[in-house]
């Protein structure tokens, strides 16, 4: 049972480039989340989804877009990467908005 | 809206000593509370959770936490730490019917030999 899988694990982008981070879960969870983790700031919610075909903005959505075309996948896109988006990105899933979240291993993104 | 404050950013402690990591929350409605642990270069994993019932919650690896509604706190404790407990610990809160969980800034626990 893989749980939550994120790809890629590492990526270096140049300023202005675009990329997509993929999150896949095999637990049939309705809710999925994208967080970014920066030193001293904990986890901040970027976007989330409460079911297939739905998305909503979190605390820090600017510069990111998401899509949830299939229940098991949640994609995070950076349209034009900026150095301020250098961070570790975590995907998580849960059965509801107030139950335990299961996390992926993270994607370390560096924008130069 | 709910919020979480972890009162210590770093906690150094010697091996086999007790430790307490402090967490305070604010919410106008009933809450669910969680502690997650993150080992270096890994994702977060659940340590323990409070949903309802007994205010003393036991988790994995010998950790426990106590929900104190009057003080709006959910402090994490372990009576005797090991080197392997070195990690970052996150307190988190969600509310009934809510859509998301809010995380604190994290407390980095250093266990020294």
CB pair distance less than 8 Å for A31 and B99 = yes
Helix (H, G, I), strand (E, B) or coil at B92: strand
For A47, which residue in chain B has the nearest alpha carbon? B100
Strand positions, DSSP E, B1-113? 3-6, 10-14, 19-21, 23-26, 31-38, 44-50, 56-58, 64-68, 73-78, 87-95, 102-103, 107-112
Give the neighbor-by-neighbor strand order of the sheet with A64-67: A4-7, A19-25, A73-78, A64-67
In this predicted structure, what is the pLDDT of residue B29? 81
Q: A43: which chain B residues are within 8 Å (Cβ-Cβ)? A: 44, 90, 103
| Chain B nearest CA to A108, separation (Å) | 10
Per-residue pLDDT reduced to its tens digit, A49-65: 999 999 999 999 999 99
Helix (H, G, I), strand (E, B) or coil at B60: helix
- Please tell me which residue, B35 or B101, carries the higher pLDDT value: B35
Q: Does the N-terminal peptide bond of residue A8 adopt cis geometry, omega within 30 degrees of 0? A: yes
In this predicted structure, what is the pLDDT of residue A1? 63
Q: What angle do CA B48, B49, B54 make, to 5 degrees?
A: 110
Cβ atoms of residues A112 and A84 within 8 Å: no
A interface with B, Cβ–Cβ below 8 Å: 4, 31, 33, 35, 40-45, 48, 50, 56, 58, 90, 92, 94, 97-101, 103-106
pLDDT of B96 above 80: no
What is the token pair recorded at A111?
A: 């924008």
In this predicted structure, what is the pLDDT of residue A53? 95
CB pair distance less than 8 Å for A97 and B46 = no
Residue of A93, A99, A101 to mutate, testing the B interface (most B Cβ within 10 Å of its Cβ): A101
- Please tell me which residue, B96 or B16, carries the higher pLDDT value: B16
Q: Does B103 touch chain A (CB under 8 A)?
A: yes
Q: Which residues of chain A have pLDDT under 50?
A: none
Residue of A29, A30, A42 to mutate, testing the B interface (most B Cβ within 10 Å of its Cβ): A42
């Amino acid at each position: 049972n893989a749980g939550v899988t994120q790809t890629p694990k590492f990526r270096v982008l140049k300023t202005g480039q675009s990329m997509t981070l993929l999150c896949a879960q095999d637990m049939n969870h309705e809710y999925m989340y994208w967080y970014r983790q920066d030193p001293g700031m904990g986890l901040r919610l970027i976007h989330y989804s409460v079911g297939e075909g739905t998305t909503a903005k979190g605390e820090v959505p600017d510069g990111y877009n998401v899509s949830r075309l299939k229940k098991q996948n949640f994609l995070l896109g950076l349209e034009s990467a900026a150095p301020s988006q250098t961070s570790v990105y975590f995907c998580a899933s849960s059965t509801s908005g107030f139950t335990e979240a299961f996390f992926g291993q993270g994607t370390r993104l560096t924008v130069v | 809206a709910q919020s979480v404050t972890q009162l210590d950013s770093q906690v150094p402690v010697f091996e086999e000593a007790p430790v307490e990591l402090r967490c305070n929350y604010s919410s106008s409605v009933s809450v669910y509370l969680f502690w997650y642990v993150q080992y270096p270069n890994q994702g977060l994993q659940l340590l323990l959770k409070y949903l309802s019932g007994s205010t003393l919650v036991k988790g994995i690896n010998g950790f426990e936490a106590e929900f104190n509604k009057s003080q709006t706190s959910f402090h994490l404790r372990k009576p005797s730490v090991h080197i392997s407990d070195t990690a970052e610990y996150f307190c988190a809160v969600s509310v009934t019917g809510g859509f998301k969980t809010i995380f604190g800034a994290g407390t980095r626990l250093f266990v020294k030999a």
